[in-house]
Amino acid sequence: MYRILSAEKLSENIYRMVVEAENVARHCLPGQFLIVRTSEHSERIPLTICDYDREKHTVTIVFQPVGYSTMKMAELTAGDAFADVTGPLGKPSDLVNEPPEELKKKSIVFVAGGVGTAPVYPQVKWLHEQGVSCDVIIGAKTKDLVIMEEEFRKVCNLYITTDDGSYGRSGMVTKALEDLVSEGKKYDHCVAIGPMVMMKFVSLLTKKLGIPTVVSMNPVMVDGTGMCGACRVTVGGETKFACVDGPEFDGHLVDFDEAMKRQQMYKTEEGRALLKLKEGDTHHGGCGSCGGEE
């Protein structure tokens, strides 16, 4: 059992938990994810790691209840426990593979939207620990939905924008990024994490601005091990699976329209059957021999 040390509500529908998971905390890196199960027979839930403490053997997860399993998760409190916490899974952020001295030569901007703010934090924190400064744009619909502001202000140059103008700058994250560039900012690298449509339009903007961009395709993950095929995406004309090949990919090469359409289809039994028919032997993920739904 994996004990929950703290559980809190960050905003109207976003929760944060600190969980004892020694092996995950010991080996994880920014950009990776884990899978939790609330009970022995419950659904597997892939969640990006928001933070970790190797000395305390803890990992932090942030999630938004969208279905039965995550709604049941939201009912858990400190002292409760998960049946399973598996990880780390996925590939770490490319940034962690670059020497700090090279990273210091770059001007890096992160664009985060909604619950996507959480997986941005470990990357920004890691950069700060290496002595690398970066800018972060956090977008939310209203002031009440902005999360983790205090944590970010300690490790980066933070810009907050709200759709209704109730806090920080006014407008979408794309407007904030475009405004910063107009004000004289020059970026060499962008990381965008958030809703699919947000990542699509950030990538369209950065392509126009000539800024290399990485996106995280964790929103399309279901099983998290490459067996269900839900996170199949086309990147540069090639088939990839977010859980085993990512979750991060070149945002300028991702076919977002296909991914969003596929994401909607995968939610229904009829849609899954159609995808299986269309995609044939390539329908299921990275293991290549799992047998899928057979």
Three-state SS for 236-264 is CCEEEEHHHHCCEEECCCECHHHHHHHHH
Residue 260 within any structural domain of the chain: yes
**Do 111 and 204 belong together in one domain?**
yes
**Do 200 and 240 belong together in one domain?**
no
If you average pLDDT over every residue of the chain, what do you get? 88
**Cα 217 from Cα 174, distance rounded (Å):** 18
Percent of the chain with pLDDT over 90: 71
Q: How would residue 139 be classed by pLDDT, with cut points 50, 70 and 90? A: very high
Q: How would residue 283 be classed by pLDDT, with cut points 50, 70 and 90? A: low
**Do 147 and 177 belong together in one domain?**
yes
**Do 190 and 237 belong together in one domain?**
no
pLDDT of residue 294: 35
- What are 69-91's pLDDT values in tens digits? 889 999 999 999 999 999 999 99
Percent of the chain with pLDDT over 70: 85
Split into its structural domains, the chain has a count of 3
**Do 222 and 212 belong together in one domain?**
no
Residue 54 within any structural domain of the chain: yes
Q: Are 229 and 279 in contact (CB under 8 A)?
A: yes
- What are 96-116's pLDDT values in tens digits? 999 999 999 999 999 999 899
pLDDT of residue 166: 93
Residue 294 within any structural domain of the chain: no
CATH code of the domain in which 139 resides: 3.40.50.80
- What are 229-250's pLDDT values in tens digits? 677 889 999 989 888 888 999 9
**Do 121 and 23 belong together in one domain?**
no
**Do 103 and 162 belong together in one domain?**
yes
pLDDT of residue 270: 43
- What are 212-222's pLDDT values in tens digits? 999 998 866 66
**Cα 259 from Cα 218, distance rounded (Å):** 12
β-pairing, 81-82 vs 238-241, is unpaired
pLDDT greater at residue 244 or residue 189: 189
Residue 164 within any structural domain of the chain: yes
pLDDT of residue 122: 97
CATH code of the domain in which 57 resides: 2.40.30.10
With 50 as the cut, is the pLDDT of residue 63 above it? yes
**Do 24 and 127 belong together in one domain?**
no
Sequence-ordered list of residues with C-beta below 8 angstroms from that of 169, at least 6 positions apart, any chain = 159, 160, 161, 162, 175, 176, 179
**Do 175 and 208 belong together in one domain?**
yes
pLDDT of residue 271: 46
- Structural domain of 260: 218-288
CA angle 42, 47, 49 (to 5 degrees): 135
Spell 26-52 as b/e; 16+ CB within 10 A means b. eebbbbbbbbbbbeeebbbbbbbbbbb
What global pTM score does this model have? 0.88
